[in-house]
Amino acid sequence: MGFGGDSAAIGLSIRHLYSSEPGLNNPTTVSLGISSRSTPYIGFSAVAHDINAQSSSTTDGVVIDRSYTIGAVLRPTGTRFFDIGIEGRYYEGFDTSKSASWSATGIPFNQGWVPRATLGIDIPYFGRLNGDIAVPSFSDKQYVATATLDLAMPHATITGGAIFGSAIGGKDGTGAVIGASITEWIEPNSPEFEYALRIRIEQTPSIRRHTALLRKLWRASKDPAVRAVVFVIKDEPASSLSNAYEIDDAVRVLRFRGKKVVCHLEDAGRRSLLACANADRIVINPAGGLGVLGLRNERLYYAGLLKKLGVRTQFVRIGEHKSAPEQLTNTGPSPTAKSDNLEHINQLTSELVDLIARGRKSDNATIKASIDASPLTAAQAIERNLVDGFAFDDELDAVVGDVAGRRFELRDELTARAPRKFGRQPSVAIVYVDGNIVSGRSSQIPLLGIDMVGSYTIADSLEKVRKDPNVDAVVLRIDSPGGSAMASDVMWRAVALTARVKPVVVSMAGVAASGGYYLAAAGTKIFATPFTVTGSIGVFYGKVDVSELLGRIGVNVDTVKTSPSADAESIFRPFTPEEVEELGLKIKHYYDIFVDRVSKGRDLSPEQVDSIGQGRVWLGRKGVEHKLVDELGGLRQALNTALVLTGLSDDVNIIELPPPQFSLLGLAASMLTTEDSDAMKQLSRKPVPHEIGLVLRSVAPFIIYDPFQPLSISDITIAP
């Protein structure tokens, strides 16, 4: 058994020897070994063999004596393709006056140290050639050598070869070596039967599970044994159009590398169709349907209700496009907000239609007409060429066989392969900024599905990767509408410090706006998808006043204070005109800092940033045009850029930070049965219908954040 990590390990073995040799007494011995592999090119090891054995010296029979081995291996290519090893083994119980002493391994010795050299060469798609030579006695010109060939098969290896030398069993000669081993992994050079990888999606993936899905698809695209990938989609495969775009990108990579891709749908939506648009074939359950409905942006306005209740709202904002406070101050959108929303949703629709049309080899007008006519039955979806045919789950192997030319076994997981490299590997860190930005530590609001990403949590994660010599680059994965301006600035500083010492490539998911864009501006390079909501450079500040409501129900508030503005934050009175004026100055101060951060990070003048700021929201393509974003692309493009900037290979190790949050709800789910656990996870992820959730989430920011706190929040909400 052994323990350790990438760079070092310690192992212990217990051996019981059964033998008819007189004097051995069938001993049980213990051996202990350690190894160090600080780089992929060289490794060191040391082993103490049979450390509990009794030391002895004899010329009769076989003896068990303590011995010690030290060795090193060199891999010139940094992989296991070719390695050279050298070691020395010291035996305690030898007799230097004799020349016929024998060890339990069959190697004769008459000196304390026995040197040995090894050689290993991989034979692609076959196995491995191994050789070694040991020299028990230089003076007597004794040597023992072996040459073996490993035949690698899935989960097994068969070894055959020869042993020869000048002193085999006390005389010159040769012998045979045979062996076999069984492993849970597959050796890198093993030929493997081709198969189709089945990806079953029963729940919309979270941001981290989405990354895991993408990485699985990228690995499948490079695996020669994977001939096809089958998506079995029971729920929307992505939480946003932006994430669906990244799955579509992975599908295109699979097809570019010669894999066939099949999608199977039941009751599917627009994100399913976008993710599968470039598949070789899309099939649907005959009783299913396709709800590729047009997009809608919904906002709730509470001013009328608040007025009836006697609640007054007071907000100060920078930029007429910063419309988030309007939900509490207005009975409907301002003309600017209405225009912005309409432009935004039209651009999203245009991007969606264009990508689906290209994937389905159709034209935009036809796809738009199909969207306008949806929801569609399965038959209507086929008629409109959005899907290709009918199929049940149990018919998928036949569908794959038809698409790929022959049938393949459907497997749910990629084959685990033994690593080609050892030692501590260079890494790229993915740091997730997922949720509403708050000061302090990350947390969650149970059942509402609202994540709060804390400034201290992200700052600590970035400090960790900044100081880790094995992390060569950072991909900052942002899916956040913003939040606290102060917390955003703390994160911005952590990103800026990290970018000084190693590349920080920003990958924007569904939304990276307001405070989410604030911290992105310090990155080395920024990627956004065509569906990413970004920009929204602006700040607002305010509170609600419930004094009239309290008066209506007979509640009086008496305040004793030492200065005129001591209770300015209180919800029991309105701001004075002087305080409103002072708030305007503070908001301008925070807005100027925001503009300055973006100006320096994006190499734009403050005037340029202000002209595209003022709270204005942009989609990814417009973000590129206005130089808020460098290139269109998803997580794959961001990771590839990090590799290019650091010169790393595409098999680099990836670490993810911060650690996933612990929750009592998740713990409860893990303690239940599989069925109950799935139900609990579903409850945590989507506890209420969209409309009720919209109400709860629209007021949540004003509950989450303290009064009198400058906020930078984007308010774009697209219905699923």
Q: Say if residue 638's pLDDT is above 90.
A: yes
User: Is the pLDDT assigned to residue 596 strictly greater than 90?
Assistant: yes
Of 16-25, 430-439, 442-451, 463-472, which range is least confident?
Answer: 16-25
Query: Residue 126 carries which DSSP code?
Result: T
Q: Is the pLDDT of residue 109 over 60?
A: no
pLDDT tens string 510-553:
999 999 999 999 999 999 999 999 999 999 888 888 999 999 99
Cβ contacts of 649 within 8 Å, gap of 6 or more: 643
| Helix intervals (H) in 412-539 | 455-467, 485-501, 515-520
Q: Once rounded to an integer, what is the mean pLDDT over residues 203-225?
A: 95
20 pLDDT band, cuts 50/70/90, is low
For residue 40, cis peptide bond before it (omega within 30 degrees of 0): no
Residue 691: pLDDT band (50, 70, 90) is low
DSSP-assigned beta bridge partners for residue 675: none
Q: Which distant-in-sequence residues (6+ apart) come within 8 Å of 620 by Cβ?
A: 508, 528, 529, 530, 531, 532, 534, 629, 632
Residue 485 within any structural domain of the chain: yes
Q: What is the mean pLDDT of residues 497-519?
A: 96
135 lies in some domain? yes
Question: Considering 154, 182, 210, which residue would you say is the last residue of a domain?
Answer: 182
Q: Work out the pLDDT band at 689, boundaries 50, 70, 90.
A: low
Instruction: Give the type of residue at 478.
Output: I
**DSSP symbol at 108:** B
**Domain assignment present for 148:** yes
d(CA 554, CA 166): 108
Residue 250 belongs to a domain: no
620 or 106: which leads in pLDDT: 620
Is the pLDDT reported for residue 498 higher than 90? yes
pLDDT for 673 = 41
pLDDT in tens, 312-359: 988 888 878 888 888 889 999 999 999 999 999 999 999 999 999 999
Structural domain of residue 160, as residue ranges?
2-182
182, 198, 216 — which closes off a domain? 182
Q: In degrees, to the nearest 5, what angle opens at C-alpha 643 toward C-alphas 639 and 649?
A: 115
pTM across the whole model: 0.83
Considering only residues 591 and 718, tell me which one the structure prediction assigns the higher pLDDT. 591
State the average pLDDT over residues 360-373: 95
Mean pLDDT of 541-570: 89
- pLDDT per position as a tens digit, 440-471: 999 887 666 678 899 999 999 999 999 999 99
Assess if residue 13 is contained within a domain: yes
What pLDDT shows up at residue 650? Answer: 85
Average pLDDT, the chain: 85
| 639 contacts 428 by C-beta, under 8 angstroms | yes
Determine the pLDDT at residue 153: 78
- The verdict on residue 671 lying in a domain is no
pLDDT confidence bin for 180, thresholds 50/70/90:
confident
Domain count along the chain? 2
Least confident segment among 115-119, 446-450, 474-478, 541-545: 446-450
CATH number, domain of 638, equals 3.90.226.10
Tell me the sheet residues that pair with 72.
44, 86
Residue 84: other Cβ atoms inside 10 A:
14
**CA-to-CA distance for 688 and 452, rounded, in angstroms?**
19
Select the highest-mean-pLDDT range: 45-49, 277-281, 425-429, 547-551: 277-281
One-letter amino acid of 221: S
> Of all residues in the chain, what percent carry a pLDDT higher than 90?
57
Answer yes or no: is pLDDT of 258 > 90: yes
Helix (H) or strand (E) holding 256, with range, is helix 241-256
Assigned domain for 249 exists: no
The answer to whether the beta carbons of residues 73 and 36 sit under 8 Å apart is no
- Is there a domain that residue 242 lies in? no
- One-letter amino acid at 22 equals P
Give yes or no for residue 105 having a pLDDT over 50: no
Checking if the pLDDT of 397 tops 80, the result is yes
Is pLDDT at 625 greater than 70 in this prediction?
yes
> Tokens at residue 154, please?
């899935």
The answer to whether the bond into 335 is cis (omega within 30° of 0) is no
pLDDT bin (cut points 50, 70, 90) of residue 98 is very low
Contact 61, 20 (CB under 8 A): no
Has residue 683 got a pLDDT over 70?
A: no
Domain final residue, candidates 182, 198, 215? 182
